[in-house]
Structure 1
Amino acid sequence: MKRIFLLYIFLFINCTLFAQSKEDTWTAFWDKDTTHTGYKDKNGMIKIEPKFMGMTIANKFDDIIVVTEEENQSWKSYYLTKSGKIVGRDSLYIFDNGPDCENEGFIRFRDHKTDKMGMFNRDGKIVVPAEYSNLTKAINGMIIALKGAEKAMAPGTDGHFSWAGGDDNLIDINNKILIENFVSNDELNFYSVEKSKEPSKDPTRDSFLGVDGQYYSFINYDKEFTLWLKNSLLSDLSKDNLLKHSYEEIFYWKEPIGWINEPKTTFINKNYKLIKDKLLELNNPTCDYFVTTNGLNQFIYEADKYDQYFNNCNESKDWKYPIKSIIITHRDKKDSTQDHFDFLRTENGYQLISVSIRKGKLK
């Protein structure tokens, strides 16, 4: 049997430091006028008086954040570490009209003089120099880095663009190349990385040859979910098995109320036959369905129990906890409707968390 080595690129160091900072997470709070934000520690002691606004979107402060404050009737934006160090003045990385949020103690910045991206660590030190066209978040100590690309502006849009050309490499947080010409997709689970002398034979994994001659393999969420759906759910649609693979509460759409939720036992008991019949359609070769990948909607899943699935800026951590949505389309001569089943990837596997049925009626 070939020995497979688990690869933890700086994982032990990063996780230890990250866990230590998590013990004293600072929380954002408003001033009396709800116009400025400050931060308190876990004991309610004010660490930073309310003075930030604008691009200050971090609800929690662990390592390094983006802040904006007003000075002489103008705004200044920068990166702020927990020790009070200021770096990256006017070097914010903006995406979808919002600044970056740190992940695992690292945060991206853009040098607007060169229009290149780099990355700061939790101490405000540059660990990845600003020499890349684009960088992903640091995930388990790894970053997908695009270099030498050009912006291709989409015609008729307001500043939207895609990247043309360039080379994607997988690098670590010390800017060392792990895999050249990295052909990636959003379905890779970077926390599942394994390193071996030969490509993985696991059908749920994608393997890549590294610069060191070893193969790096990652679980592909799409392949994993497809196999799980077939072997763990559709093979046994009993009520007990459905409950086993359901989250503790199920959200569902009900007219005219909108999204509501119930404990899974209550919901499944009331709607078991309808849900079973809908899911059984997936076994029919003529069933018109597809699967998409999303993240939890922060405006629906607001309870504290869902905090682990969002980062400090209340963005879904879909790179670790994706939602797999099964969408079944029903067509007739007059209209077409779609039923939605959302499964959240949790530490306990995929679990049904929300349902929306248009052809049929939930109780």
Structure 2
Amino acid sequence: MKFKIFLFLTLLLSTISYSQQKSDWIRVENYDGSKIGYKDINGNVKIAVDLETTFAPPKYFNHIIPIFDLNNHNYYLLKNKQKIALDSVYISSDYELDCERENKIRFRDKKSRKIGFLNQNGNVIIPALYNYAAPFYNNLAVVLKNATRTCLEQGVDSLNCEHPIFKGGITQLINDKNQLVVDSIDTAIATNLNWYSLHVSATNKEQINRVSFKGVNGDFYSFIDYDKEFKNWFFNTFVPVVNQRSIKQLEKLSFIELTTWSENEQIWKNNKNSEVINSEFVEKLVSKVQFLLENPKNSFFNSSDLNPYIYQNKNYDEFYDCNGNLFKEKYPAYSFYINYVDANQSLEYQESIAFIKTEKGYKLFTYSFKN
């Protein structure tokens, strides 16, 4: 069978959790997934498996979750079964419900269609003032304000269209008290920032891997840029170790297990890194890295994701958020892709090596080699 091109940018829903709390309830489903409920960490049923929803609610129920049922009724549900904020559930552009982060969850005002935040008890703590608002990470959130809302569809009411588009406006950074921190921030840069690396100083000191923004109070807010950090780590740490052909050092730069596709068995295989990293594997890695360095036009790097059907054991628990998606704001993943072309520059096949940030730094965790 032909070698398959595997791009690790694909689907990322998850099976396991972000830092799950003991008080969290866990979503459970019936045999065909048509009904859901929740159980506690000990397996006790807290909400019977009889909820029928249009959109899947969060995998973990901390204090508050959104519900959107088959009759288009939507609301937020507390653990005491109280329903609040009727017809105000926030749904993302990719049709995903929000989940509680840092004791906050987004809601959408049913009249203005703008976004605000509820606290864990369902009380409004940030009014619906924003055209868009990202979740809070480290008590900071990126928001869009004063933009004009239009529709992708022609002749549709801009407040009720399925695919809204925002033009103009200002992208800002606010804190959890709804106070303005940075008046204008580049959205493209903001998507790559490690919000947990915040450093505040009176002067703007240029630092490797960091970007800074001047706050409204005159201080400079500095964050690690994940893209810069990963590139520097790859070329200045990973590549030298590979070229040294040190099995022991390469194991230290690898995740506890390495995942690859088995063409013979037609399955993804997860093996301990010590079972994979031998002299033969190292030589393969040396050749791939050398080709990558010598053929920059035929190689590229990109942010990556995890596939829940592959990365589903307990080793990956910490990498997922409350919705079961990759917690990329804390544990980003990256892949390097190598394109092999024929004499006509047509793609013959592609190989890749993927990395994920852990508490101990970036680690190699997946590879896809033809030979």
TM bracket, shorter-chain basis: 0.7 to 0.9
**Paired residues for 1:4-43 under 5 Å:** 22-30=21-29, 35-43=34-42
Q: Structure 1's 323 and 211: CA in aligned 2 closer, same or farther, altered over 3 A? A: same
2:85 is aligned with 1:78: no
2:91 to 94, 113, 117: 94
Contact 1:151 1:163 in 2 (8 A): yes
Aligned to 1:3: none
CA distance in 2, matches of 1:246, 1:209: 37
TM-score by length of 1: 0.85
CA distance in 2, matches of 1:155, 1:125: 34
Aligned to 2:225: 220
CA distance in 2, matches of 1:32, 1:243: 41
Aligned to 1:175: 178
2:261 to 253, 259, 273: 253
Q: Structure 1's 115 and 252: CA in aligned 2 closer, same or farther, altered over 3 A? A: same
Determine what percentage of the aligned residue pairs are the same residue.
31
Aligned to 1:164: 167
Whichever residue aligns with residue 76 of structure 2, its letter is: Y
TM-score by length of 2: 0.83
Cα drift, residue 161 of structure 1: 5.0
Aligned to 1:295: 305
Cα drift, residue 130 of structure 1: 0.7
Aligned to 2:13: none
Query: What secondary structure, in the 3-state scheme, does the structure 2 residue paired with 1:234 have?
Result: helix
Contact 2:58 2:98 in 1 (8 A): no
Aligned to 1:345: 357
Cα drift, residue 119 of structure 1: 1.1
Aligned to 1:128: 126
Whichever residue aligns with residue 261 of structure 2, its letter is: W
CA distance in 2, matches of 1:31, 1:286: 49
Whichever residue aligns with residue 331 of structure 2, its letter is: Y
Aligned to 1:309: 319
Cα drift, residue 29 of structure 1: 2.7
Cα drift, residue 180 of structure 1: 0.3
Aligned to 1:45: 44
CA distance in 2, matches of 1:183, 1:144: 10
Cα drift, residue 75 of structure 1: 4.8
Cα drift, residue 333 of structure 1: 1.5
Q: Structure 1's 32 and 206: CA in aligned 2 closer, same or farther, altered over 3 A? A: closer
Q: Structure 1's 31 and 353: CA in aligned 2 closer, same or farther, altered over 3 A? A: closer
CA distance in 2, matches of 1:325, 1:182: 27
CA distance in 1, matches of 2:300, 2:335: 8
Whichever residue aligns with residue 50 of structure 2, its letter is: K
Which segment drifts farther, 171-180 or 251-260? 251-260
Contact 1:40 1:47 in 2 (8 A): yes
Query: What secondary structure, in the 3-state scheme, does the structure 2 residue paired with 1:201 have?
Result: coil
Contact 1:117 1:129 in 2 (8 A): yes
Query: What secondary structure, in the 3-state scheme, does the structure 2 residue paired with 1:236 have?
Result: helix
2:115 to 117, 121, 130: 117
Cα drift, residue 32 of structure 1: 7.7
2:56 is aligned with 1:59: no
Q: Tell me how many residue pairs correspond in the alignment.
A: 337
Cα drift, residue 31 of structure 1: 5.5
Contact 1:296 1:318 in 2 (8 A): no
CA distance in 1, matches of 2:30, 2:295: 59
Q: Structure 1's 261 and 147: CA in aligned 2 closer, same or farther, altered over 3 A? A: same
CA distance in 1, matches of 2:301, 2:152: 27
Contact 2:68 2:89 in 1 (8 A): no
Cα drift, residue 229 of structure 1: 1.0
Cα drift, residue 48 of structure 1: 2.4
**Paired residues for 1:232-271 under 5 Å:** 232-237=237-242, 238=245, 239-255=247-263, 257-269=266-278, 270-271=280-281
Aligned to 1:328: 338
Contact 2:76 2:86 in 1 (8 A): yes
Whichever residue aligns with residue 268 of structure 1, its letter is: I
Which segment drifts farther, 339-348 or 55-64? 55-64
Structure 1 unaligned blocks of 5 or more:
1-17
Contact 1:295 1:321 in 2 (8 A): no
CA distance in 2, matches of 1:332, 1:259: 28
Cα drift, residue 129 of structure 1: 0.8
CA distance in 2, matches of 1:286, 1:169: 36
Cα drift, residue 231 of structure 1: 1.7
Query: What secondary structure, in the 3-state scheme, does the structure 2 residue paired with 1:79 have?
Result: strand
Q: Structure 1's 200 and 296: CA in aligned 2 closer, same or farther, altered over 3 A? A: farther
Cα drift, residue 209 of structure 1: 0.5
Contact 1:343 1:353 in 2 (8 A): yes
Query: What secondary structure, in the 3-state scheme, does the structure 2 residue paired with 1:299 have?
Result: coil
2:115 is aligned with 1:106: no
2:224 is aligned with 1:207: no
CA distance in 2, matches of 1:356, 1:161: 38
Cα drift, residue 276 of structure 1: 1.8
Structure 2 unaligned blocks of 5 or more:
1-17, 155-160
Structure with larger RCO (C-alpha < 8 A, sep 6+): 2
CA distance in 2, matches of 1:56, 1:279: 41
